[in-house]
Structures are given as structure tokens and as C-alpha cells.
Structure 1
Amino acid sequence: MNNGVCVKGSCYNDDEIDYYGMFTEIIVLEYFGKGNKVILFQCDWYDTVKGTRVDPNYGFESVNHRSRLKSNSYEPFILAQQATQVYYTTYPSTKKEAQNWWAVCKTKSTKIVELNYCQYTYDVLQEDDQSFSLEIII
């Protein structure tokens, strides 16, 4: 309901821009053979010019959920590998201007495992023909 997608992009002047959107459909294209499939996300995108802002003091990113791009002015499909999951939450404010803006909460995917170490296992043979395993964690 409040989850969406973020795609990192860049303009011609190398400024990084995050593109935010909401899922409308997930499409899986399967080809002949084992493991030959492509996953596409169809999204409605928020306007990056009028509909996004960054708080200058805290760096919070926000989107105006009423400011969406027209469907004929953008490409609605992205590859699943390009996407980062985000959640949108409302601001705790009663001001009318704040009601149109959602704060963006970027999350990490649960399918990606980050390893902070490298592990190596070696079988070592001593001179007295006794072997043991040596495990090195870096």
C-alpha cells in the first residue's frame, strides 16, 4: 500500500537523481530453457521536477504523491535489478501543504545478504601425518 520503488539515475550533467514510483504491475517473461526469465516492474512515476524535494537541514527526501508523470511522457517499465525498495510515510502534520508530501524511507532487500568478512578453510598436513582444518576469517 505504501511501498514503492526507487531507481538511481543521472542527468547529462552527472547530477544523481532518484526516480520514485509506485508499482502497478509485475511482469515475468519466461523463455525456453532453465532459468531464462526476466522480471519487469510497471510503475507510475512521480514528477522529479515538481514532485520531489530534499530537506536542506536533514537530507530527508520527499515526494508529492499528487504530482505524477503523465503516462505518455515516460517509460513505465524497469528491470527488477534496477529497483530499490522504498516505503512512503506521511508527515505528522496538520498543515494542508504537508498532506501532499510523503517522506521516503529507503530499505534494503531481504533477498540480498551482505557479508562483512571473507572466510577461507585450508586442510593442513603436519609432519606427524595428523591433519586438521585451519579456518581464517578476515
Structure 2
Amino acid sequence: MSAEIGYGAQPDVIAALLAAAGGRAVVLSYDEDRSFAAVSLSRFGSVGSSRLDWSGVEVLQSSPVFDGGELRGLLGGLARPDELAVVFWGNLAVPSLALEVGLVATHADMILECCSACWVYLVDSGILIEFQDGEGFTAGRVPR
């Protein structure tokens, strides 16, 4: 099965998050997901199958903590509440979302419960935040 065919096949994983966002989150199509990935995730090398290689990248913050409070604090220091964010999951079967940073902060706990790995791309700031369950987060500037 190709990535495009499998993309978004498990929307139930984010159903509660979408309901909580009250229509203010947009589920991205496969093409939209790939377009945002091309300017963010795809500019990093990888370590293993799902971790980004942060060597040679300007790392802004990192922490071993993996919870909603830590994500809220991080977002508050890196972006405006009205900035566009794209949330990618560690599984392409779960469709990516576009929503304002303020909504990501409000629903941070729900976001982190959806998958064991996710990435939040702050579109205007050019910053990517990586979360790996059990390992915490890393935030840094996307390489050009």
C-alpha cells in the first residue's frame, strides 16, 4: 500500500481532538501534508525510523519532559497564539492537522495522547518541535 493510499486511514485517533477544537482545526489532505512536510520534516535527516537528526541544526530548547504543560510553555516562548501550526503524527494513517498555536496549547494534553511521536511545525517562525514518548522534546529552526 502506498503512503498516499494509507494516509488518513485512522481519523478516529484524532476525533476527540477535532471535536474539542470545535471546527477550528483543519484536517490536511495528503498533498497538503506532503507540502508542509517538504518545508519542515523533510529538511532533517533521520535517526532510526522516526526520530529527526538534530546535529548541525540550531536547537532552541530541549527537555526530557513529555507532557502538555511542557508543550504549552514551549509554545508560549516560541510563537504567537495566532500563528499557524501543523501537527504531524508518527503514523501517516493519522491525518495531519493545521490549527492556531493557541489551540495547540489549549489542547496540548490531547495532542500528546494521540500518538507516541508527533511534530509541531510553527509555520511563520520556521520552528519545528519534535516529541518522542519517553524521550521528551526538541525544538529548533528548520534547516534551509
Between Structure 1 and Structure 2, which shows a larger proportion of helix residues? 2
Return the TM-score normalized by structure 1.
0.20
Which of structures 1 and 2 has the bigger CA Rg? Answer: 1
Between Structure 1 and Structure 2, which shows a larger proportion of strand residues? 1
Return the TM-score normalized by structure 2.
0.20
